Structure 1
Amino acid sequence: MTKIHHYTLGSGKSIVLVHGRAMHSGVWRDFAKQLAQHYRVTCVDLPGHGYSESCDAFTLANISAALVGAVEDENSCWLGWSLGATVVLDLAARYPERVNALILLAGNPRFVQAPSGLDDNWPGMAVDIFDTFANNLRNDPQSTLAQFLSLQVQGLPYAKTTLRQFKELLSECSFPCQNILQSGLALLRHSDMRTVLASLDIPVSVILGTKDVLVPVAVGQYLCDNTSKIQLTSIEGAGHALFLSHTPQVLAVISQFMDEQ
């Protein structure tokens, strides 16, 4: 079994925080401390990220199995940010007995648009833009990752401050290896969890930022039109790293959602 680094704060209803691609659990630190004033919060490093061991293959099946094996709480709300949203959707489908609610934070069930020619108006990232990013990451990982971080705070009034905070947190651990980075992109490129999301029989909260350039806020309306169980919140002026830039607003939404369970 892959050894997963994790830590737990607080007491009460259980929430597990799953970070995004190329990140680690340290990005949650201040946010998790505030959340832990009311809940039992567990932060995990994805396989091959932070202090976690790499799994044989960075697939959703292996990731979900590793996380479920590491988290002690038998029944939790799983919160996934960005790529983490894809992971927790998969985990809820494979291990429904371990999940009592989901929170998708700046995440969506399908990251990219449908291939050209298909009758699908899904408001994801254009495939050609995504593929260009993947190629740039392979050829110049450091510059591409720096650009990726900048995109997460683009358009925010305190972008420089948030970006500096972001970089300081991430510098505590080495970036994942190239294989893990590319595998993470492949998951975003090919995973389509819309059917999974529609079939879930648990409460789901979707929290989006209106200025997010990676996950369009239009995703929220599409989900509400097609899945009746979703509670949608759009935070005005927030980008992709909304738990850093708009912490009080995100905490308020999570608290209300958790208190309803």
Structure 2
Amino acid sequence: MAQNASRRSLLASLATLPVTAAGVIPAVATAAETDGVLLAAIDCFRNAVAAHNAAIAADDDAMERYEAPEFPETLYVRNTDCGLVVPVGYSGRGGERRYFKEVTIEYLRTVPCERVVTHARPATMEDGFTEKEVTSGIDILVRHTREPWPEAQARADEIVSAWDALQAELQRRQDACGLTATHATLETTQLAYANARDVLLETEARTIEGVIAKAAAIMECCYPGADGEIDFASDVEEAFAGPALALTLTRNLHKLTRVA
């Protein structure tokens, strides 16, 4: 449902929905009492599709208005950063410039920058060595400690600050063009659509008219219309998880033939 192809097919189906519905409902009306639960599920599904279509259109409009900020120069990796942290990510902008990604930046935010300092001194008899070993001059005691690294920490703080400023600007621009609100609405309508779809698939058709009505509602959602730009099979696979659609219609038809 999130892909543009599915968005366009849903929008196209919305335009044809009243025509299709007008052709189906009279035939089903005779079985309204028997298939009342199914008809309610179909209405709920159609309403969910319409609401989701409207949310998609609003989100597309907001996206058209949105202008992303420039990626800060501070977040690109410098030659002097090699000892700071292993950077992650490539810009893909011509020269494949490396940049710090969020996972690395969050590491820099939470873990202080330190460097390993090596301490070495000649061994002494107090250290447990013999006089011969000490006078030989070849025995050196070595230990390593981790100490704060001010220069690296200053660079890490610069990177984190630039990232936070970028996120704030992204959010400001998304709020200003309405994208934040449309994203939230889109998520809500997507969940409502998924729930209505699942209820429709799980609701049994008790008459052959009910089976036809269920199939018609599905076609309304997925069929691309006269232009045929969207592949029907792949759209059904995405919108209805393929096998679930085949199973619900097959089960309903099989049960009806057994009853008959």
Q: Same fold (TM over 0.5)?
A: no
Structure with greater strand percent: 1
Please say which structure displays the higher CA radius of gyration.
2
| Highest RCO, 1 vs 2 (Cα 8 Å, sep ≥ 6) | 2
TM bucket (normalised to shorter chain) is under 0.3
